[in-house]
Every structure is written in C-alpha cells, then in structure tokens.
Amino acid sequence: MLKIAVFGAGTWGIALARLLAAHGRDVTVWSAIPAELKALATTRRHPNLPGMELPAAMHYTADIAEACTGRDILVFAVPSPFVRATAKKAAPHIPQGQLIVDVAKGVEDKTLFTMSEVIEDELAKQKRTARVVALSGPTHAEEVARDMPTLIVAASAQEDAAKAVQKAFSTPTFRVYTNDDRRGTELGGAVKNVIALAVGIALGLGYGDNAKAALITRGNAELARLGLAMGCKPETFAGLSGMGDLIVTCTSMHSRNLHAGMLLGRGKTAEEAKAEVGQVVEGINALPAACRLAKKYKVDMPIVQSVDAILHGRLAAGNALAALMGRDLKRE
C-alpha cells in the first residue's frame, strides 16, 4: 500500500487526501494548526466541502517529522505563500531522492520561482535532493470531493517520476496525464488566476459572454507569450494545465478568483474582496510576480497589467475594458 503524506488541510489538500484514501492509499494529513486536525478527525468533514465524508482510515499529525517519515510520496498542498516555509520546516526530515508532488499554484514574488522550484531551492539549502512533480489542471476541489470526472497533468522532466505520480493518483474518476514541461504547467496554474480576476471584474461590471470569451482567449495568448519567452512548450498552453485550467477558473461557480474579481468589478477593494470570499485568492497573490515576469521577459500582457492597475488604484475598473478596446489595432 502506498504511503502518502499531504501537507495542508485546505479544500484542495483534503479533497486530494480523501480521493487517495478512498482508493486504498495510506494517507496522513499534516497541518501546522492542531485544532484544524482535531476537527477533521472528529467530524470527518471539511467546512468548505459540504457533503464529503472523510474515510475513517485517514491519519492526522501536527508533527512534520512524523509526516515525512516512511512515505512514498509527499504532497505540498499549502497555499503558495506558505510553500517555502513548509519546505524549510520539512527539509531536515525528507529522505534523499524523495518523490514530492506540488499542487500549490503560484509564482514566488521575490525569486520568480514556481512552487516546485521553491521546494527544490529550499531543499538544496539543506543539502537535500528530491524528485519534484507538479500536478496541475482544471480541478476544483468541490468536484473532486464528489468523485466527479476530472483530468489533470503530472509534469516533470524525469519521466519515471511523472509516471509514478500518474499511477499513484489515477482512479476511475481522476485521470492523470504526464508531460515534461513542468515550468509551463506551473505557469499556467499561476497566471490563469490573474486572468480569472479580469473575467470576474468584467462580469461584476455587467459585461456579457462576449467579453468573457475575449478575456479568456486573449488571456491565454498572454500566458502563452510569457511561457514561450521563458522556454516553455507552446502545446502546454493548449492543454489541461493551460487552456483547460483557464476555462474552469474563469467560468466556474466554484472559482474564488472569479468571485473576487466580480467583487472588484462592483467596487470592492482587494482586502474587502478577500474577506468576503473567505478563502485564499491565489490570483491576488500571483499578480505581483506575473507583472515582474512580464517586465523581465519583455512580454506584453495588457490584461494582467490592467488587473494590477485596478488593484492598486491606478485605473478604475469601469475604464479598464475601454482602455483595452482602445489599443492599437493589430493581427491576432
């Protein structure tokens, strides 16, 4: 039986933990918040995943050394701002060559590293090596928790590592593909959240499906331009972790980033929007790094830059689409 530890007891971490435990994996959930673990163990429920019951066989621990010991796979499912701190805390207890799966989506603002690169960087500081695979795609936790059909990508330049994750995570309702473009896969998972904010802003302003479709497709063009400038593969952005993740995040009622964007379009501040959503809004976290990447690689990303201008008060939400529509005419 595969032994898997999941770091993080948020909606995505718990949805994945339940999926794995329900299909015969020995799963332990680690969290830095003991009260959170106690509630999960006692109620076998997660407050943000109504109707989902956790298997009785799942284990819980606040001891990160215990979580790292004797595991076939370690899964990083903490919010992106906490990935580095979690990796630093776990590193002394992680065996050399450990298989690690990152499901957090984001780009670190200070270093411009993807989350897998953050994990590798922190492990290297403590002279640890690992096989780090990014697992990303159009995967709302609410649907995975209900065993609704879901497709996702395990990305790594090490084919054996990607295939090991594919085998470990695949179930009759959770189909895992592999690719070797980890950076492109992670970039799609981070930047799509910013585009979802833009779509939400448009909807909050009362715009319709035409504007939504335009922002999704032109947003994907921005993502692909950035990815190509960073050495990623173009096909990645037409796949599950690119266009697939972008579509679901920009259209789903489950999307926190879409919801936050709608609140921004209705005049809320970023802090007010985050408070009303009540969960992590990764698009707001990813926005500074996305803007810095665009500048570093000299890539034109007008939608991303418009969202940044709105959040920082340089542009009124109601004027943003007019500014985009008024750009110089050009070939698609």
For the residues 227-249, what does the mean pLDDT come to?
A: 97
Q: Do residues 92 and 68 make contact, with C-beta atoms less than 8 angstroms apart?
A: no
110 tagged catalytic: no
Chain centre to alpha carbon of residue 219? 17
Give the integer Cα–Cα distance in Å for 273 and 204.
Answer: 12
| 3-state SS record for the chain | CCEEEEECCCHHHHHHHHHHHHCCCEEEEECCCHHHHHHHHHHCCCCCCCCCCCCCCCEEECCHHHHHCCCCEEEECCCHHHHHHHHHHHHHHCCCCEEEEECCCCECCCCCCEHHHHHHHHHHHCCCCEEEEEEECCCCHHHHCCCCCEEEEEECCCHHHHHHHHHHHCECCEEEEEECCHHHHHHHHHHHHHHHHHHHHHHHCCCCHHHHHHHHHHHHHHHHHHHHHCCCCHHHHHCHHHHHHHHHHHHCCCCHHHHHHHHHHCCCCHHHHHHHHCCCCHHHHHHHHHHHHHHHCCCCCHHHHHHHHHHCCCCCHHHHHHHHHCCCCCCC
Asked if residue 300 lies in contact with residue 225, where contact means CB atoms within 8 angstroms, the answer is yes
Q: Is the pLDDT of residue 322 over 90?
A: no
pLDDT above 70: percentage of residues in the chain: 100
Q: Write down the pLDDT at residue 117.
A: 98
List Cα–Cα distances, 146 to 16, 49, 133, 136, 142, in angstroms: 11, 9, 25, 18, 7
Domain locations in the chain as residue ranges: 3-180, 187-325
* CATH superfamily of this structure's domain 3-180: NAD(P)-binding Rossmann-like Domain (3.40.50.720)
- Averaged pLDDT score across all residues of the chain: 96
Residues forming the annotated binding site for NAD(+)? 8-13, 82, 141, 256
Q: Which residues are annotated as a binding site for sn-glycerol 3-phosphate?
A: 105, 137, 139, 192, 245, 255-257
d(CA 274, CA 254): 15
- Tokens representing 316? 């009124």
Binding-site annotation, residues: 8-13, 82, 105, 137, 139, 141, 192, 245, 255-257, 280, 282
Distance CA 204, CA 198 (A): 10
Average pLDDT over every residue of 97-112:
97
Determine the residue type at 43. T
Of 88, 127, 163, 192, which residue is the catalytic one?
192
Query: CA–CA distance from 317 to each of 214, 233, 314, 323 (Å)?
Result: 17, 33, 10, 10
- 58: exposed, middle or buried (Cβ count in 10 Å: 0-12, 13-18, 19+): buried
pLDDT tens-digit series, residues 192-219: 999 999 999 999 999 999 999 999 999 9
Which residue numbers belong to the known binding site for NADPH?
11-12, 105, 141, 256, 280, 282
Cα distances from 74 to residues 2, 159, 290, in angstroms, run 11, 18, 27
Q: In this predicted model, what pLDDT tens digit does every residue of 115-142 receive, in sequence order?
A: 999 999 999 999 999 999 999 999 999 9
Q: In the structure, what pLDDT confidence band is assigned to residue 94 with cuts at 50, 70 and 90? A: very high
Q: What pLDDT was estimated at residue 191?
A: 96
Residue 284 has pLDDT above 90, yes or no: yes
CATH number of 187-325, picked from 3.30.70.141, 3.60.20.30, 3.40.50.150, 1.10.1040.10: 1.10.1040.10
Q: How does pLDDT run across 286-321, given as a tens digit for each residue?
A: 999 999 999 999 999 999 999 999 999 999 999 998
